[in-house]
Amino acid sequence: MKIKNKLLVGFGFYTLLAVAMGCFMYLELHTIISRLAYVKSADDIVNNALETRRYEKNLLLFNDKGAINELDHYITLLRKNIGVLKKEIVKKIGAQEFAKLSGQIDEYEQSIHAIARNPADKGLIEKVRIIAREIQATIDAVAGGERASIDYLLAHLNRSMILLLFTIAAFIIAGAIINMKLAASISNPIRDLEEATKRVGGGDLSWRSELTGRDEIASLGMSFNRMQERLSAARQSLELAITELHEKQEQLLESEKLASLGRIAAGVAHEINNPLAIVNEKAGLMQDIIGISDEFQNKDKFMSLIQGIVASVDRCRAITHHLLGYARPTESVMETMSLNDVLADVKGFLHKELEDKRIAMETNFPVDLPQIRSDKGQLEQVVLNIVRNAIEAVSEGGHINISSGMKDSKTALISIADDGPGIPQDKVKHLFEPFFTTKGKKGTGLGLFVSYGIVKKLGGMITAESKSGRGTTFTIQIPVDFRQ
Amino acid sequence: MSKKEIKVLLVDDEVEFVDTLGQRLKMRGLKVDIVYDGEQALSFVKKTAPDVIVLDLKMPGLDGMEVLREVKKLKPDVQVIILTGHGTDKDDEQARKLGGFDFIRKPADIDLLVVKIKEAFSEKIERAMTAITFAEAGVFETAERIIKKDE
Ligand SMILES: Nc1ncnc2c1ncn2[C@@H]1O[C@H](COP(=O)(O)OP(=O)(O)OP(=O)(O)O)[C@@H](O)[C@H]1O
Ligand SMILES: [Mg+2]
């Protein structure tokens, strides 16, 4: 029920009660007043009759001529008052007796007048007395008893008062109950809603208002729930966005770190190349000279020492040249190509290594993969670095899986998974840093660093996922059409 | 091809490096001259034409790229190999555009360098021969006939 209707019901109830009580009071008062009027008229009739008898005595006993006027006056009054109560009297004694009474009064009046004219008529006097006594008797019977009805009236009034008190009490109690019910039916849902808003305000977004029904508050509750759901959804997507933002920020920091490391490393590589070249030539010259000179003590020893220097220079050169590759500011050569061709080429290059280690390489290249525009040579270099790492990581007879796909319409994916020993969690974040290697002298620790730089330059991203003992998966994301 | 000694000019401001490299190349039968900056290199080229120049890029004064450009203007036949510790791929590209023969990064393997110098020398000889052939053709044949022959 709508609140308006509830209020109307409350108001209607009160109005009805008030009207009922008014009617009741009116009826009670009406009864009492009409009763009182009856009593008064009956009293008048009795008085009129008494006065009539008094003047009748004056006329009959003392022959008072003036009494005839008084008698006329009181008989008229008597007749009038009987007329007033005609209905009640008829009810009491019946129409016949009433007619008889009226006839007796008429007869009485005529006889009185006759006696006034002829006071000596004893028979007439006797007749008047008899009629008068009969009238008196009838009137007493009809109205005399009514004096006693004062008691009845009092009793009636008392009863009415008690009834009235009861009615008022009932009125108050029923009113209170109904009002309480109505008030509760309005305020309970409001409290419910208030509770809900408080909870939600306090951050409990899962709270729902449980209001049902058809009134405004219930529909408010439902709107509240809808608002609430929207709010939760908005908060969820906000939280998601924030997490994403954090991830992006971390990636950005990481890539900035790697980029500046790259610049520093390239700078160092440049500076080192010249002194390295001097060492290289000096050692080389020593080798040349000793090589052509006659046998002398420790000649072989010197040769092998120099061989060591030259080999170390070679290692340094591998590092500096690798690093300079990373810093390569050349424009990439963009061409339209199939990613799957790139992967197949890499597989071809590594054919021998794969066979030597009896590695099963699975490939999963969807034929409907769209063509992409990127630098083929550089992409090949990246995939080569990663697959080579995988080959070095897995044991004899291990597995490598290369697959391609689309992340969305703008980004292609290459994923390279192996079942090698994996990388401990605390090392994963160092993977792309320069010189991070677990291969000792055999590795420069630059393969992934360089690959990272290349993919970055091509507008993409490399991520690694690995758990110790569970293999490693590298994922390369590359834009389908990268505009520098 | 000719048994004639290959004349190499080394241009580098890193004295220790270039002197040692010079000795090693001499030991490998090349005729080596050394200068230590770009200006010296240009005046040397004006006086005597070497077969191959091994040129550093980063030098005080005239840098390697400018020297290369000037040399190619003065004596287009002279082959230039860039040997540098600073070069980027972009420098590599630019040097080749300017007519450089090859681009090698320091520290370089001596055997590789010698191979490259010999290749550069053959290139130079070949060009000279083609030029002569063309000159002879120019004397005896009309332009139209060359075109026909090519077709
Ligand atoms: N698929 C893999 N499984 C386990 N560890 C890996 C894998 N790929 C890379 N790593 C680890 O990351 C390190 C860094 O690899 P990166 O390619 O950068 O250098 P490297 O392979 O050690 O040296 P280089 O590439 O010069 O041979 C490796 O030494 C290895 O510890
Ligand atoms: Mg590697």
CATH classification of the domain holding A16: 1.20.120.230
Pairing mode of beta strands A399-408, A461-466:
unpaired
Mean pLDDT, all residues of chain B: 86
Per 3-state DSSP, what percentage of chain A is helix, strand, and coil (rounded to 5)?
Answer: 70, 10, 20
Q: How confident is the model at residue B1 (pLDDT cuts 50, 70, 90)?
A: very low
Question: How far apart are the C-alpha atoms of A23 and A2, rounded to whole Å?
Answer: 31
Q: Does the CB atom of residue A444 touch ligand 1 within 6 A? A: yes
Residues of B in contact with A330 (CB under 8 A): 88-90, 93
Task: Answer yes or no: is pLDDT of B69 > 90.
Answer: yes
Residues of B in contact with A292 (CB under 8 A): 27
Question: How far apart are the C-alpha atoms of A386 and A476, rounded to whole Å?
Answer: 10
Q: What is the pLDDT of residue A357?
A: 93
Closest chain B CA to residue A321: B105
Kindly list the domain boundaries of chain B, sorted by start residue: 7-122
**Nearest atom (ligand 1) to Cα of A471:** 3
Asked whether residue A92 is domain-assigned, the answer is yes
Q: What is the pLDDT of residue B141?
A: 52
- Residues of chain A predicted below pLDDT 50: none
Closest chain B CA to residue A274: B85
- On the CB side of B84, how many CA atoms lie within 13 Å of its CA? 23
Residue A217, burial from CB neighbour count under 10 angstroms (0-12, 13-18, 19+): buried
Q: Which of B12, B17, B54, B92 to mutate to test the interface with A (most CBs of A within 10 A)?
A: B17
A321–chain B nearest CA distance, Å: 8
Asked whether residue A272 is domain-assigned, the answer is no
Asked whether residue A44 is domain-assigned, the answer is yes
Asked whether residue A112 is domain-assigned, the answer is yes
Q: What is the pLDDT of residue A119?
A: 80
| First-to-final CA distance of chain B | 29
Mean local confidence (pLDDT), B2-9: 81
**Nearest atom (ligand 1) to Cα of A416:** 1
Q: Which of A272, A278, A292 to mutate to test the interface with B (most CBs of B within 10 A)?
A: A278
- On the CB side of B32, how many CA atoms lie within 13 Å of its CA? 21
Architecture of domain B7-122: 3-Layer(aba) Sandwich (3.40)
For B97, other C-beta atoms within 10 Å of its C-beta total 8
Please give the residue range of the domain that contains residue A109: 3-191
Domain end call among A166, A191, A216: A191
Spacing, Cα B86 to ligand 1 middle (Å): 27
Domain end call among A159, A191, A223: A191
pTM of model > 0.80: no
Spacing, Cα A447 to ligand 2 middle (Å): 4
Q: What residue type is A483 in one-letter code?
A: R
Q: What is the pLDDT of residue B33?
A: 97
Given a contact cutoff of 8 angstroms between Cβ atoms, the answer to whether A302 and B63 are in contact is no
DSSP at A181:
H
Given a contact cutoff of 8 angstroms between Cβ atoms, the answer to whether B63 and B39 are in contact is no
Asked whether residue A220 is domain-assigned, the answer is no
Q: What is the pLDDT of residue B134?
A: 62
Q: Does the CB atom of residue A365 touch ligand 1 within 6 A? A: no
Query: pLDDT, tens digit, for every residue of A308-330?
Result: 999 999 888 888 887 776 555 55
DSSP at A432:
T
Number of domains in chain A: 2
Q: Same domain, yes or no, for A27 and A176? A: yes
pLDDT > 90 fraction of chain B, expressed in percent and rounded: 70
Q: Is the peptide bond before A434 cis (omega within 30 degrees of 0)?
A: no
What CATH number is attached to the domain comprising A345? 3.30.565.10
Mean local confidence (pLDDT), B65-69: 96
Q: Does B74 touch chain A (CB under 8 A)?
A: no
- Residues recorded for chain A: 484
Q: Which of A191, A240, A237 is nearest to A211 (CA)?
A: A191
Asked whether residue A43 is domain-assigned, the answer is yes
Q: Does B85 touch chain A (CB under 8 A)?
A: yes
